[in-house]
Amino acid sequence: MRYISTRGQAPSLSFSEAMMTGLARDGGLYVPQNVPVLSSDEIAALAGLPYEEVAFRVMWPFLGDTFTKEEFQGLIAKAYAGFGHAARAPLVQLGPNHFLLELFHGPTLAFKDFAMQVIAQMMQAVLAKSGERITIVGATSGDTGSAAMEAFRGLSNVDVFILYPHGRVSEVQRRQMTTVAESNVHAIAMDGDFDEAQGRLKDMFNDLDFRDEVRLAGVNSINWARVLAQVVYYFSAAVSLGAPHRAVSFTVPTGNFGDVFAGYIARAMGLPIEKLVIATNQNDILDRAMKTGAYKTDGVKPSISPSMDIQVSSNFERVLFDAYGRDGAAVSALMGELKAGGFTISQGALEMLRETFASGRCDEDQTRATIKAAFAGTGEVLCPHSAVGVWVATDHLGATPMITLATAHPAKFPDAVEAAMGVRPNLPLRMADLFDRPERVTRMPNDLAALQAHIRERIAN
Ligand SMILES: *Cc1c(COP(=O)(O)O)cnc(C)c1O
């Protein structure tokens, strides 16, 4: 199994190399050279299995010789042991033929735990074999940072530094990053906004001497291994509703397009998915692109679903690669145009995309109204991101079962949820002491040299 870059100029890599590399050297994203297909019988045999076993069977064909079967099963077991629900990704019903896939039972209460927990175990296992250490640095506006710290805490071959903009994350999000006790994870509250934090992260990756010296690695959502881990719950959910004998559709609250791209891979593997509905908030570049063909940036408008507040969706490049017949030069040209503000998707590519994807947007008032209506109609408390999905899904209900992904627990966004439905959502009991745990964080200026010195000093100890 080899992985190739969407821009066609970087060397092909093995699974473990693609996982450790993240972004390809030509600026592209790694995708499998061929997507393995599961037969109808193999898919049918997933019915009724524990989530961990489904994860093993879905991911195994992508891994090449990275691990033995027993090793990989052990890593999966560790990855999901800290989840607060025995089903890992339980499905509940919202209305006639409309289901909600609850992806918020992981340790940091967002779907990012599904991928981050597995990638942490896989990276640690690869590093333990070679005896190497790496330094992971990430910038976060909330969910990614806490998921990464929770996943990598206590692993012996990895140090993790997470930069977040001081004073600009929610209290639950901050505490999830600052209360992790293990000494290999480090929270940094940086003066500035999220773009500035991300800017310093990019500076570190562009400082090649520093990059080599600390063996810098990334775990942002363009990492192929993260996408792969998210393919699993499309299978587990579809099979519980009758796949492969019955097709299903999914609606996915979308930011960087990583989660919905995992659904696209599930479909390419043979899972009968009729439509993948892209749900955006008021930052609707993807909805506009699907409807008009124009992929044009338009500035970020802060919303109550902040994890979907994006200017451009990095993983969209991966479907464009397929829509343009896997022509790396064509993708490179589009990404060049994007730097200047946008591009128009060719008619042929747009038709190919519309065979698989539909889309819709949900504004702030609609998000709040959906939280209120879902609670009144079903008792289900939605986070604002999940509400965006439920609103958009409503336009696509029909004879095919619709599964909307619930991407975070409502208690991660208590102010927005309370404003919408009048009741403040509680943290799950296992996390109820979050506000009593001691915090550990270093406040730092927006200064590359100071940040680098801090990282050097910490990893030396
Ligand atoms: C990251 C995130 C999203 C967006 O997922 P993408 O893979 O970036 O499309 C949606 N909801 C929540 C709660 C998230 O944390």
pLDDT digit string (tens) for 5-38? 999 999 999 999 999 988 888 989 999 999 999 9
Average pLDDT, stretch 41-56? 98
Any atom of ligand 1 within 6 Å of the Cβ of 307: yes
Are 165 and 196 a contacting pair, CB within 8 Å? yes
Q: Which of 92-101, 137-146, 234-243 has the lowest mean pLDDT?
A: 137-146
Diameter over CA atoms, the chain: 60
Ligand 1 mean position to 144 CA, how many Å?
A: 9
Beta strands 216-217 and 134-139 are parallel
In whole angstroms, what is the distance from residue 222 CA to residue 224 CA? 6
Q: Look at residue 378 in the predicted model and tell me its pLDDT.
A: 97
Residue in 112, 140, 146, 259 to alter for ligand 1 test, most ligand atoms within 8 A of Cβ: 259
Ligand 1 mean position to 256 CA, how many Å?
A: 7
Closest CA to 244 of 88, 60, 47: 47
Average pLDDT, stretch 252-271? 97
Are 354 and 290 a contacting pair, CB within 8 Å? yes
Atom number, ligand 1, closest to the C-alpha of residue 310: 8
Q: Look at residue 61 in the predicted model and tell me its pLDDT.
A: 98
Q: Which two tokens stand for residue 197?
A: 């934090």
Any atom of ligand 1 within 6 Å of the Cβ of 135: no
Q: Look at residue 432 in the predicted model and tell me its pLDDT.
A: 87
Ligand 1 mean position to 70 CA, how many Å?
A: 31
Containing H/E element for 164?
Answer: strand 158-165
**Cis, bond preceding 11 (omega within 30 deg of 0):** no
Q: By CB neighbour count within 10 A (0-12 exposed, 13-18 middle, 19+ buried), where does 29 fall?
A: buried
Q: What percent of the chain has pLDDT over 70?
A: 100
In whole angstroms, what is the distance from residue 5 CA to residue 27 CA? 8
Q: Which two tokens stand for residue 258?
A: 């990583």
In whole angstroms, what is the distance from residue 35 CA to residue 21 CA? 20
Better pLDDT: 265 or 298: 265
Mention every residue, 6+ apart, whose C-beta is less than 8 A from residue 258.
Answer: 221, 222, 226, 227, 230, 314, 315
Q: Which of 63-72, 217-226, 446-455 has the lowest mean pLDDT?
A: 217-226
In whole angstroms, what is the distance from residue 459 CA to residue 461 CA? 5
Residue in 114, 143, 310 to alter for ligand 1 test, most ligand atoms within 8 A of Cβ: 143
In whole angstroms, what is the distance from residue 184 CA to residue 190 CA? 19
Q: At what angle do helices 328-339 and 316-323 cross, to 10 degrees?
A: 130
Average pLDDT, stretch 255-263? 96
The question of whether 129 is a catalytic residue gets the answer no
Write the DSSP assignment of 393-408 as a string of letters: HHTT-SSS-EEEEE-B
Atom number, ligand 1, closest to the C-alpha of residue 142: 15
Any atom of ligand 1 within 6 Å of the Cβ of 98: no
Any atom of ligand 1 within 6 Å of the Cβ of 159: no
Q: Is the pLDDT of residue 202 over 80?
A: yes
Residue matched to tokens 């942490």? 120
Handedness of CA 413, 417, 418, 424 (dihedral sign): negative
Ligand 1 mean position to 263 CA, how many Å?
A: 14
Q: Which two tokens stand for residue 368?
A: 């709040």
Q: Is the pLDDT of residue 298 over 90?
A: no
Residues 380-437: tens digit of each pLDDT: 999 999 999 999 999 999 999 999 999 999 999 999 999 999 999 999 998 889 999 9
Q: Which two tokens stand for residue 59?
A: 């991911």
Phi, psi of 183 (to 5 degrees): -80, -5
CA angle 356, 360, 362 (to 5 degrees): 150
**Amino acid type, 448:** L
Ligand 1 mean position to 306 CA, how many Å?
A: 9
Q: Is the pLDDT of residue 142 over 80?
A: no
Q: Which position among 69, 78, 112, 202 bears the catalytic label? A: 112
Any idea which fold 80-107+224-421 has? Rossmann fold (3.40.50)
Atom number, ligand 1, closest to the C-alpha of residue 252: 9
Any atom of ligand 1 within 6 Å of the Cβ of 114: no
Containing H/E element for 318?
Answer: helix 316-323
The Cα-based distances of 229 to 55, 111, 145 in angstroms read 8, 11, 18
Atom number, ligand 1, closest to the C-alpha of residue 262: 7
In whole angstroms, what is the distance from residue 103 CA to residue 312 CA? 24
Closest CA to 174 of 382, 456, 437, 453: 437
Any atom of ligand 1 within 6 Å of the Cβ of 257: yes
Any atom of ligand 1 within 6 Å of the Cβ of 258: yes
Q: Is the pLDDT of residue 461 over 80?
A: no
What average pLDDT does the structure give for the chain? 95
The Cα-based distances of 264 to 25, 260, 267 in angstroms read 24, 7, 5
Q: Look at residue 193 in the predicted model and tell me its pLDDT.
A: 84
Start-to-end CA span in the chain (Å): 38
Ligand 1 mean position to 408 CA, how many Å?
A: 8
Average pLDDT, stretch 337-349? 96
Q: Look at residue 25 in the predicted model and tell me its pLDDT.
A: 83
Ligand 1 mean position to 132 CA, how many Å?
A: 31
Atom number, ligand 1, closest to the C-alpha of residue 112: 15
Are 111 and 259 a contacting pair, CB within 8 Å? yes
Are 232 and 58 a contacting pair, CB within 8 Å? yes
Helix (H, G, I), strand (E, B) or coil at 326: coil
Q: Which of 76-90, 191-205, 332-346 has the lowest mean pLDDT?
A: 191-205
Q: Which two tokens stand for residue 426?
A: 């509680």
Helix (H, G, I), strand (E, B) or coil at 125: helix
**Amino acid type, 104:** F
Residue whose Cα lies nearest atom 14 of ligand 1: it is 307
Are 452 and 200 a contacting pair, CB within 8 Å? no
Residue matched to tokens 């492969």? 244
Closest CA to 116 of 156, 141, 143, 137: 143
Mention every residue, 6+ apart, whose C-beta is less than 8 A from residue 31.
Answer: 3, 4, 5, 6, 224, 318, 321
Average pLDDT, stretch 128-155? 92
Q: Is the pLDDT of residue 205 over 90?
A: no
Any atom of ligand 1 within 6 Å of the Cβ of 221: yes
